[in-house]
């Protein structure tokens, strides 16, 4: 299904649902600077594959969307806990967040955890922790770590960096100038996107971690009004629109 078909499927689906919705409500949707999924450009445009996907889904659900951010990740979580945000549309399922977040029945994207290294790093594939033991690894403070890294963190030298809107650029420059061994990420696109923007994509190498992809969901705050209703509407729309992980990858391709 190409990008045009995705848009047509979402906007012009013939199924008529939720006829009780007469006037659109506005969902407060939080995001942090996480290109190419969700980000704010230098001219103030909010864009990304997740932004495109959720705007279209919300329209089918009968809602308008107010994008709020970019926020520090810790602030985004706090606002979801307090009901100041309705949605975070690019969430992994963290059991620690079950107290304040609803998760739909199905994910819409499967993200592959990775390490990014310098192009001259001799490692071609990570099979076990022995391949990267004692690596100096940077990652975002307060952000989740992949299960493989979490399990083996005592064998690694992990430095957690406070979030800033320029953090992805900082990470790429550190790798290119060999100030660290690698950068961790929970998906294979964000650091590549930033490296291409900087013209440095040929200076890095992406290595998949030896673990399965992580399911990504649209998460809904339990503390906001009508949170359960929002989740039920999303589940119904997702059930009738046949979008797959490959379709989301096409939305990502549009960002490069």
pLDDT digits (tens, 9 = 90+) for 166-218: 899 999 999 999 999 999 999 999 999 999 999 999 999 999 999 999 999 99
Q: Which of 103, 197, 187, 179 is nearest to 143 (CA)?
A: 187
Domain extent, residue 135, equals 113-208
Does residue 66 contact residue 104 with C-beta atoms inside 8 Å? Answer: no
Q: How many domains does the chain contain in total?
A: 2
Within this chain, do residues 76 and 149 fall inside the same structural domain, yes or no?
Answer: no
Within this chain, do residues 77 and 137 fall inside the same structural domain, yes or no?
Answer: no
Last residue within a domain, chosen from 208, 230, 245: 208
pLDDT digits (tens, 9 = 90+) for 75-93: 999 999 999 999 999 999 9
pLDDT digits (tens, 9 = 90+) for 220-253: 999 998 999 999 999 999 999 878 899 999 999 9
Whether residue 48 is predicted with pLDDT greater than 90 in this model: the reply is: yes
> Looking at residue 9, which CATH number applies to its domain?
3.40.190.10
Entry pTM: 0.85
Within this chain, do residues 130 and 72 fall inside the same structural domain, yes or no?
Answer: no
Whether residue 12 is predicted with pLDDT greater than 70 in this model: the reply is: no
């Amino acid at each position: 299904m190409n990008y045009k078909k995705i848009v047509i499927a979402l906007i012009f689906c013939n199924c008529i649902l939720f006829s009780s919705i007469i006037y659109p409500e506005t969902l407060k949707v939080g995001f942090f600077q996480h290109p190419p999924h969700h980000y704010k450009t230098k001219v103030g445009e909010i864009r990304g594959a997740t932004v495109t996907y959720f705007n279209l889904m919300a329209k089918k659900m009968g809602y308008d969307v107010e994008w709020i951010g970019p926020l520090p990740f810790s602030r985004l979580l706090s606002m979801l806990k307090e009901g100041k945000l309705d949605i975070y549309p690019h969430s992994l399922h963290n059991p620690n967040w079950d107290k304040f977040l609803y998760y739909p029945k199905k994910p819409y994207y499967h993200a592959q955890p990775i390490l990014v290294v310098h192009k001259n790093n001799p490692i071609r594939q990570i099979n076990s922790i022995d391949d990267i033991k004692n690596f100096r690894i940077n990652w975002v403070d307060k952000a989740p770590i992949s299960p493989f890294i979490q399990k083996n963190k005592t064998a690694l030298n992990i430095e957690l960096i406070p979030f800033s809107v320029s953090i992805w650029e900082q990470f790429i420059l550190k790798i290119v100038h060999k100030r660290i061994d690698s950068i961790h990420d929970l998906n294979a696109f964000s650091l590549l996107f930033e490296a291409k923007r900087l013209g440095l994509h040929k200076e890095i190498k992406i290595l998949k971690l030896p673990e399965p992809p992580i399911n990504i969901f649209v998460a809904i705050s339990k503390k906001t009004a009508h949170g359960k209703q929002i989740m039920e509407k999303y589940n119904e729309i997702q059930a009738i629109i046949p979008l797959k992980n490959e379709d989301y990858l096409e939305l990502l391709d549009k960002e490069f």
